[in-house]
Amino acid sequence: MKNKSPNFGIILFIAIGVVPFAAAFIYALLYSFGVIGVANKGFTTEFWTSVVASGEFFRSFLYSLLIALVAVSISVGGALWSTLKFRKRLEQKFLSFVIYLPLAVPGIVTGFFTFQLFSKGGFFARLSYQLGWITEASQFPDLVNDALAFGIVLSFITMIMPFFVLLFLNVYKNERIEALSVLAQSLGANAKQVTQRIILPILIKKTWVLIVLYFIFLLGAYEVPLILGQESPQMLSVLIIREIKQYDLDKISEGYVFAVMYTLIVSAAAIVLFLPKKRRTYET
Amino acid sequence: MSILQKVPFTILSILVILSCTENPSTNDEALKTAPWTEIAQKAEGSTVNFMMWQGSPAINEYINNYVVPSVKEKYNISLKISGGQGPEIVQLVMGEKQANIQSGQVDMVWINGETFFQLRKLNGLWGPFVGQLPNAKHIDMNDPFINTDFQQPVKGMEAPWSINQFAIVYDSARVQNPPKNLQQLTEYLERYPGTFTISNDFTGMTLLKSFMAELGGSPNSLDGPFDEEKYNGLSQKLWAYVNGHKKYFWKEGRTFPKEQSKMGQLYANGELLLVYGFSEGGIEEKVLNGLYPRSTRGYAWKNGTIKNSNYLGVLYNAPQKAGAMQVIDFLLSPEAQLRKANVNGMNSNTVLNIESLSADWQEKFKTVAKRQYGPEMKQLEKNAIAEPAPEYMIRLYEDFRKQVIEK
């Protein structure tokens, strides 16, 4: 009986985590080659050729990559700064409760809030009008559905920065960084050295996996870019859904090509990022 | 058998059971010729699933508080509503066809010509059935705006539910002389920059069809089957016009609203002063709800705007086809159509030929309250044009993205 529970756990993981993913991937792969799909006529590489030739996937991928990178960098940077600067205050009951609140707000709601606040007819535009800073809605800067993806990045930061603050606070406590800092100072290190050599390396090293996972999560985000993004280029998930739901049924398979390409790239990146590190940990 | 062997076997068994479906009803074909009393008898006590767009409070109120209780009371039919429009319906049918599901989740759907074309292509509709409906005798099936959908003959495969015309919508308090042709639109754009755009959806593409018909030189220039040469010539002029003016569009034409509802919000915010839409612009409900200003008015493009019908269809694998037919027949009844015409409610034009009704009903329809803000379809009808072939829409979607959005 004793050795059956781990086996059952693995099987459950495979049944719930691996089989549906693998089945969906195989379905998408077959669809992308026209093997399945009621509007398809059999195996063809035309959808792959067309997607690769159009270059839209690569533009969209690069655009998503940049947005995710900027959002994660600002969120992690902001969270680190907040942790270092306001750690004591953030540990107080009220603030530690308040910081949990944004985590309870779904992405789609955050997207709507951002739109309501920052659109040309939104709260800040109206406030600017009342204060006489602008005389027409069109004079308010382009902050949603804009080329620089300001609205998307802002929403992402709102969604994930509180999480990183909480994470860093916990790591700070669990890794006894306070004690290590005192020790370093007693050995002659100054405040800057303590921050750069002790606090930041420990916080980053202990959380980098989660930082990368959040980056991948933002890369594939859907609701926020759907509400706040522009029509071209679009973030990957929005592009994939658009293609899969398109009017021309003969081209729906192109959406599955996008989905397969995205899955392959993200899976490959995850393998490259996570596997070697794990081995090194075991080696040491 | 070890647990390692047992679990995959159990999972496989569950998947096999889940993939099995009920057998399709063998009497479905007989419904196409059966007497109505037999269909009505079969429909009684059934549960009918209706997939429809639920984005309007007035439509939801009509369906949930009037249609659902009425069909329960009259025919003992439990009508269940699920949300979904064109793409969702098409995705559902494609998925069920792919999985060879003979007894589907949905019985009847509310569709427009775009979805009709897609469903016909997939053989996703069941019929013909309209000829079997008693109330269909009150519909003028010789009306080209009813018997033809996107240049495709309807042939009893879908029942018309409402008829409407595309209208241009503007704020009369801020725009004195709204444009009625492309030349006037140029003048408008120069005078009111940033207040006009084209939504990247069905509504926006419909506007582009009107523009293209004008560039073709007459209201009928896009009639008939798809003509590649004609499309290439006219679309080239169309993209030249749009790209030549997009610096005056909303956000200087760098991006476009994804859908009409977003455009409606922009109009309500005052960012846009000139928008458009079906159902004669959809003005009345939005003004009454306080979304649009009371100074909102609507009109037709001089060369014509698209007039079409929207329809009710029965899906190929509907488990309750008789029930769906009974509900559709009720929706076409003078009683239900009159209620639907209520200016403070769903406010849609009837598809019934009023002259064919009894004097009593004729009187009721003729005394329906008029709209206060939006135009009546009769006022726009002289500028009505038919939907061009569906291929025009496919190409416009594709080329609007390539030639305008991505440039």
What is the per-residue pLDDT across A8-32, written as a single tens digit (0 to 9) for each?
Answer: 888 898 898 889 999 999 999 999 9
Q: Is B191 on the interface with A (CB under 8 A)?
A: no
Q: What is the pLDDT of residue A1?
A: 47
pLDDT at A48 over 70: yes
The sign of the CA dihedral A115, A116, A122, A128 is negative
Judge: A247–B251 Cβ closer than 8 Å, yes or no.
Answer: no
CB B298 within 8 A of CB B47: no
CB A156 within 8 A of CB A75: yes
How far does B360 lie from chain A, in Å, by closest CA? 44
Identify whether A55 is part of a domain: yes
Average pLDDT over residues B98-105: 92
Identify whether B62 is part of a domain: yes
Judge: B258–A38 Cβ closer than 8 Å, yes or no.
Answer: no
Report whether the peptide linkage leading into residue B219 is cis, meaning its omega lies within 30 degrees of zero.
no
Identify whether A71 is part of a domain: yes
- Give the residue numbers spanning the domain of B136: 34-163+308-373
Residue with tokens 């190929």, as numbered in its chain: B316
Counting the structural domains of chain B, the total is: 2
Q: In terms of C-beta distances under 8 Å and separation of at least 24 residues, what long-range contacts does A139-145 make, across chains too?
A: A142/B251, A143/A118, A143/A119, A144/A114, A144/A115, A144/A118, A144/A119, A144/A228, A145/A119, A145/A228, A145/A229, A145/A230, A145/B251, A145/B255, A145/B257
- Residues in A whose CB is inside 8 Å of some CB of B read 4, 7-8, 11, 15, 19, 36-39, 119-121, 137-138, 142, 145-147, 226, 230-232, 244-249, 252
**What tokens appear for B120 in the block?**
């016909």
Q: Is B291 on the interface with A (CB under 8 A)?
A: no
Tens of pLDDT, residues B41-80: 999 999 999 999 998 888 999 999 999 999 999 999 999 9
Which has the closest alpha carbon to A69: A203, A270, A215? A215
Q: What is the pLDDT of residue A277?
A: 57
- Give the residue numbers spanning the domain of A78: 33-283
The answer on B400 and B265 residing in a single domain is yes
> What CATH number is given to the structural domain containing A213?
1.10.3720.10
The answer on B262 and B393 residing in a single domain is yes
Judge: B122–A38 Cβ closer than 8 Å, yes or no.
Answer: yes
**Which member of A37, A138, A249 has the closest CB to residue B194?**
A138
Q: What is the pLDDT of residue A64?
A: 96
Q: What is the pLDDT of residue B407?
A: 82
Average pLDDT score, chain A: 89
- What does pTM read for this prediction? 0.85
**Which member of A138, A246, A248 has the closest CB to residue B271?**
A138
How far does B169 lie from chain A, in Å, by closest CA? 19
Average pLDDT over residues A117-125: 91
CA pair distance A204, A211, nearest whole angstrom: 9
Mutate to test the interface with A, among B115, B246, B271 (most CBs of A within 10 A): B271
Identify whether A13 is part of a domain: no
Tens of pLDDT, residues A222-244: 999 999 999 989 999 999 999 99
Q: What is the pLDDT of residue A3?
A: 55
Which has the closest alpha carbon to B266: B281, B284, B254, B251? B251
Chain A hits for B200, CB-CB cut-off 8 Å, are: 231
Average pLDDT score, chain B: 90
Q: What is the pLDDT of residue A191?
A: 86
Identify whether A20 is part of a domain: no
DSSP state of B396: H
pLDDT at B9 over 80: no
User: What is the pLDDT confidence band of residue A4, given thresholds at 50, 70 and 90?
Assistant: low
Tallying the residues shown for chain A, one arrives at 284
Identify whether B15 is part of a domain: no
CB B70 within 8 A of CB B331: no
* Residue in chain A lying closest to B397 (CA): A247
The answer on B155 and B290 residing in a single domain is no
pLDDT at B3 over 90: no
CA pair distance B121, B294, nearest whole angstrom: 43
pLDDT at B20 over 90: no
Mutate to test the interface with A, among B7, B93, B256, B392 (most CBs of A within 10 A): B7
The answer on B395 and B246 residing in a single domain is yes
pLDDT at B224 over 50: yes
B82 three-class SS: strand
A274 three-class SS: helix
The answer on B131 and B119 residing in a single domain is yes
Judge: A137–B271 Cβ closer than 8 Å, yes or no.
Answer: yes
**Which member of A37, A38, A248 has the closest CB to residue B398?**
A248
pLDDT at B332 over 80: yes
Q: What residues does B308 pair with on adjacent strands?
A: B164
Residue B35 class from Cβ within 10 Å (0-12 exposed, 13-18 middle, 19+ buried)?
exposed
Judge: A249–B251 Cβ closer than 8 Å, yes or no.
Answer: no
How far does A229 lie from chain B, in Å, by closest CA? 9
Average pLDDT over residues B88-107: 93
Judge: A37–B397 Cβ closer than 8 Å, yes or no.
Answer: no
pLDDT at B11 over 50: no
* Residue in chain B lying closest to A126 (CA): B269
**Which member of B121, B255, B393 has the closest CB to residue A231?**
B255
pLDDT at B13 over 60: no
Residue A132 class from Cβ within 10 Å (0-12 exposed, 13-18 middle, 19+ buried)?
exposed
CB B273 within 8 A of CB B170: yes
CA pair distance A229, A144, nearest whole angstrom: 7
Identify whether A2 is part of a domain: no
Identify whether B125 is part of a domain: yes
How far does A50 lie from chain B, in Å, by closest CA? 13
The answer on B299 and B256 residing in a single domain is yes
Tens of pLDDT, residues B165-207: 999 999 999 999 999 999 999 999 999 999 999 999 999 999 9
Three-state DSSP string of B294-338: CCEEEECCCCCEEEEEEEEEEECCCCCHHHHHHHHHHHCCHHHHH
Identify whether B4 is part of a domain: no
Q: Which of B20-24, B213-217, B289-293 is predicted with the least confidence, judged by mean pLDDT?
A: B20-24
User: What is the pLDDT confidence band of residue B277, given thresholds at 50, 70 and 90?
Assistant: very high
Judge: A11–B121 Cβ closer than 8 Å, yes or no.
Answer: no
CB B385 within 8 A of CB B224: no
pLDDT at B363 over 50: yes
Q: What is the pLDDT of residue A6?
A: 67
The answer on B335 and B390 residing in a single domain is no
Q: What angle do CA A271, A272, A278 make, to 5 degrees?
A: 75
CB B326 within 8 A of CB B71: yes
Judge: A145–B255 Cβ closer than 8 Å, yes or no.
Answer: yes
Which percentage of chain A shows pLDDT scores above 90? Answer: 61
CB B178 within 8 A of CB B310: no
pLDDT at A166 over 60: yes
Kindly give the residue spans of alpha helices, DSSP state H, lying in B44-153: 57-62, 68-75, 86-98, 113-121, 144-147
Q: What is the pLDDT of residue B65?
A: 96
Distance (Å) of CA B254 to CA A119, A236, B243? 16, 19, 11
Counting the structural domains of chain A, the total is: 1
The answer on B319 and B205 residing in a single domain is no
**Which member of B3, B11, B269 has the closest CB to residue A121?**
B269
How far does A61 lie from chain B, in Å, by closest CA? 16
The answer on B68 and B211 residing in a single domain is no
CA pair distance B224, B123, nearest whole angstrom: 23
Chain A hits for B394, CB-CB cut-off 8 Å, are: 247-248
DSSP state of B65: I
Identify whether B2 is part of a domain: no
The answer to whether the complex's ipTM is over 0.90 is no
Judge: B255–A121 Cβ closer than 8 Å, yes or no.
Answer: no
Sorted by sequence, the CB contacts under 8 Å of residue B205 that are 6+ apart come out as B393, B396, B397, B400
Distance (Å) of CA B378 to CA A262, B7, B330, B374, B375? 52, 67, 25, 12, 8
How far does A259 lie from chain B, in Å, by closest CA? 17
Residue with tokens 């159509």, as numbered in its chain: B337
How far does A160 lie from chain B, in Å, by closest CA? 26
Chain A hits for B406, CB-CB cut-off 8 Å, are: 232
Judge: A4–B3 Cβ closer than 8 Å, yes or no.
Answer: yes
Average pLDDT over residues B228-251: 96
Q: Which of A163-167, A278-282, B198-202 is predicted with the least confidence, judged by mean pLDDT?
A: A278-282
Judge: B94–A146 Cβ closer than 8 Å, yes or no.
Answer: no
The answer on B258 and B301 residing in a single domain is yes
**What tokens appear for B125 in the block?**
């509709």
* Residue in chain B lying closest to A14 (CA): B8
Report whether the peptide linkage leading into residue A233 is cis, meaning its omega lies within 30 degrees of zero.
yes
The answer on B185 and B105 residing in a single domain is no
> What CATH number is given to the structural domain containing B276?
3.40.190.10
pLDDT at A284 over 50: no
Identify whether A164 is part of a domain: yes
The answer on B300 and B231 residing in a single domain is yes
Q: In terms of C-beta distances under 8 Å and separation of at least 24 residues, what long-range contacts does A23-30 make, across chains too?
A: A25/A260, A25/A263, A28/A256, A28/A259, A28/A260, A28/A263, A29/A256, A29/A260
pLDDT at B24 over 80: no
Would residue A36 be called left, alpha or beta, if left means φ above 0 and alpha means ψ between -120 and 50 degrees?
A: beta
